[in-house]
Amino acid sequence: MTINEIQDLIIEEFAQFGDWMERYEYLIDLGRSLPPFDERHKTPEYLIEGCQSKVWLFPTFENGIITFTAESDALITSGIVALLVRVFSGRTPSEIVEANIYFIEKIGLRENLSPTRSNGLLAMMKQMRLYALAYKSKQEHS
Amino acid sequence: MKLAKSIEEIRSDFPILSTKAHGKPLIYLDNGATTQKPLQVISVMEELYRTTNANVHRGVHYLSDRVSERYESARETVRAFINARDREEIIFTAGTTASINAVAFSFGERFVGEGDEILISGMEHHANIVPWQMLCERKKAILKVIPFSDEGVLDLDAYRRLLTERTRIVAITHVSNVLGTVNPVKEIVTEAHQHGIPVLVDGAQGIQHGIVDVQDLDCEFYVFSGHKVYGPNGIGVLYGKADLLNDLPPYQGGGDMVANVTFEKTTYNVLPFKFEAGTTNFTGAIGLAAALDYLSSLGRKAVAEREQALLARATAGLSAIEGLRIYGTALQKVSVISFLPGAIHQYDAGMILDKMGIAVRTGTHCAQPLMERYGISGTIRASIAFYNTEEEIEALVKGVRKVTEMFA
């Protein structure tokens, strides 16, 4: 599946929810079911500090594919982290760099990625792209 | 004491309170961050721009005279509101932060040197920490901190021990923006004065909740912001005792603060103008005066009593929620209530409450050292104003209950 196909799938999943409460309950579930983040990687290097919530993001790069694991100290933020990981993890650097992310807005969570929210999510997305760019240039120069 | 108006009348003075948030009636409980403005303030500011806009103190012309008069009359309103001795002791600034920075600079230049000590408390807002840290860095002075108890009460014994012959100034918050604690400022001032040490009181969270009498407190400086007391933002007050203000160098140079300027030597204007360089925010000052008049017309004591009743209701309602902890349980408290429902993250709770139309603040509230003291990353803070209703408090309690169910 392409990044856009996954985004469309998420949009479809969210379309079945009647109101915001169901959407948020789903996010809480997603946050809870996120695989536990390796405690050893909970270091300043992998911490994205927002004013409201924190996000840890750890990348690995193998056989041309980037895998992300991530977690937040807030559960709803973790739920959105889970969605971002689902979209961005297991991709090539080029796919990530070129991705156009539209699903957040479509599922009514745009305010969560607003620069004024400072919950770590926008910074997390930027960081994922930065990792992808770094791996991409590494690929091109090796 | 009864408010001069019914709660319905009061609410209709604040048009923004009828806003819908996410389709629900807005329940505004973030008054500690900023308060809403009554029509009495909004209309004064609009009228000023329509009819009376000119620069203050500069012209011989009709409009300038009229606006200058109103600006000075606003100063008189502020003076009377905090019962300062003299109009010249009221300096208009951009807000609490600007006022504290001004004192930290001017006082620091004049009185603070290497090895001297500045005494603050552990429950300060960053605005009453960082300017002093910057001063300490500039002058190689030392910042000392008065600890407080789990209940959120300052340790006055420790305070007494921390007053030394090197202490140059005590800078303390009147009311904690997180815990709601009303500090015994008068006692603190008396104690400091026994050692000849001046005191700055950060009144950002104190001015709007009751009667502030700076002569009774006897503090050297009292500072506050307009926007937290139902006035416009970008305006604030620095009250200072005239003798001391006269003794301090200005912190900003520019127009209006000077008596004579030559390239060799400039002499400064008298108080309060010495500390009001450049074109001041005169519309803000006049708007602030309108806000203070509005509060006075309602009855300040009645305002405080209503807020205490709403606080008691919120405290009782929230305390009944299992696992919920309230941070700040001092006996002397204003209507600010910080809490955490069990292990639920404050940001999670805040997001759900927001969807219910309830505006609270979540996070560290610009008081990271205080959070560290409790070993938490933040709280949810509901800050209540007199225009809030019993029903809104019930809705908050119900909302928090719902949050605890969702995250159970």
8 Å CB contact of B348 and A77: yes
Instruction: Identify any residues that bridge with B209 across adjacent strands, giving them in sequence order.
Output: none
Averaged pLDDT, B387-393: 98
Q: A119 contacts in B (CB within 8 Å)?
A: 347
Q: A77 contacts in B (CB within 8 Å)?
A: 347-348
Averaged pLDDT, B50-54: 95
Q: B344 contacts in A (CB within 8 Å)?
A: 75
As for the ipTM of the complex, it is 0.88
Q: State residue B236 phi and psi, 5-degree precision.
A: -155, 180
* pLDDT tens-place string over residues B87-96: 999 999 999 9
Sheet arrangement for strand B236-240: B90-93, B236-240, B221-225, B199-202, B167-173, B117-121, B142-146
d(CA B382, CA B397): 11
Q: A21 contacts in B (CB within 8 Å)?
A: 355
* Alpha-helix residue ranges (DSSP H) falling in B31-153: 39-51, 62-82, 96-111, 130-139
- pLDDT band of residue B380 (cuts 50, 70, 90) is very high
* pLDDT tens-place string over residues B335-377: 999 999 999 999 999 999 999 999 999 999 999 999 999 999 9
Q: Which residues contact A29 (CB under 8 A, 6 or more apart)?
A: A79
CATH of B43-296, picked from 1.10.10.10, 3.40.640.10, 3.40.50.300, 3.40.50.2000, is: 3.40.640.10
- pLDDT band of residue B210 (cuts 50, 70, 90) is confident
d(CA B357, CA B28): 8
Q: B345 contacts in A (CB within 8 Å)?
A: 53, 73-75
Asked if A66 and A93 count as a contact pair (C-beta separation under 8 A), the reply is: yes
Q: What is the pLDDT of residue A108?
A: 84
Sign of CA dihedral A80, B356, B35, B40: positive
Helix or strand or coil: residue B183? Answer: coil
8 Å CB contact of A75 and B351: no
Q: Which residues contact B408 (CB under 8 A, 6 or more apart)?
A: none
DSSP state for residue B163 in the 8-state scheme: -
Q: What is the pLDDT of residue A34?
A: 93
Q: Which residues contact B240 (CB under 8 A, 6 or more apart)?
A: B89, B91, B103, B220, B221, B248
Q: How far is CA B292 from CA B146, B232, B367, in A?
A: 32, 11, 27
User: What is the percent of chain B with per-residue pLDDT over 70, rounded to a whole number?
Assistant: 100
Q: How many CA atoms lie within 13 A of A31 on its CB side?
A: 21
Closest chain B residue to the Cα of A32, Cα to Cα:
B407
- Cis preceding linkage at B272, omega within 30: yes
Query: Does residue A116 have a pLDDT over 80?
Result: no
Q: What is the pLDDT of residue B59?
A: 78
Domain definitions of chain B by residue range: 7-30+300-406, 43-296
Query: Does residue A118 have a pLDDT over 80?
Result: no
* pLDDT tens-place string over residues B150-201: 999 999 999 999 999 999 999 999 999 999 999 999 999 999 999 999 999 9
* Burial readout B2-33 (b: 16 or more C-beta within 10 A, e: otherwise): ebeeeeeebbebbeebeeeeeeeebbbbbbbb
B398 shares contact with chain A (CB less than 8 Å): no
d(CA B9, CA B230): 16
d(CA B139, CA B115): 8
Q: What is the pLDDT of residue A110?
A: 80
Write the single-letter amino acid at B48: L
Q: What is the pLDDT of residue A53?
A: 87
Closest chain B residue to the Cα of A26, Cα to Cα:
B406
8 Å CB contact of B355 and A25: no
The domain made up of B7-30+300-406 has a fold known as Aspartate Aminotransferase, domain 1 (3.90.1150)
Strands (E), A1-142: 47-49, 54-62, 65-72
8 Å CB contact of B363 and A52: yes
User: What is the percent of chain B with per-residue pLDDT over 90, rounded to a whole number?
Assistant: 94
- Lowest mean pLDDT of A126-140, B3-17, B117-131, B187-201, name the range: A126-140
Q: What is the pLDDT of residue B38?
A: 98
Q: What is the pLDDT of residue B91?
A: 98
8 Å CB contact of B363 and A54: no
- CATH annotation of A3-141: 3.90.1010.10
* pLDDT tens-place string over residues B283-312: 999 999 999 999 999 999 999 999 999 999
* Burial readout B248-284 (b: 16 or more C-beta within 10 A, e: otherwise): bebbeeeebbbeeeeeeeeebbebbbbbbbeebbbbb
Report the predicted TM-score, pTM, of the whole model to 2 decimal places.
0.94
Of A19, A21, A55, A76, which to mutate for an interface test with B (greatest number of B Cβ within 10 Å)?
A: A76
8 Å CB contact of A51 and B363: yes
Domain definitions of chain A by residue range: 3-141
Query: Does residue A142 have a pLDDT over 80?
Result: no
d(CA B175, CA B171): 12
d(CA B192, CA B199): 7
Query: Does residue A84 have a pLDDT over 90?
Result: yes
Nearest to B258 by CA among B240, B241, B275, B243: B275
From chain B residues 295-354, the ones with a CB under 8 A of any chain A CB are: 344-345, 347-348, 350-352
Q: Which residues contact B385 (CB under 8 A, 6 or more apart)?
A: B28, B31, B35, B36, B208, B307, B335
8 Å CB contact of A24 and B377: no
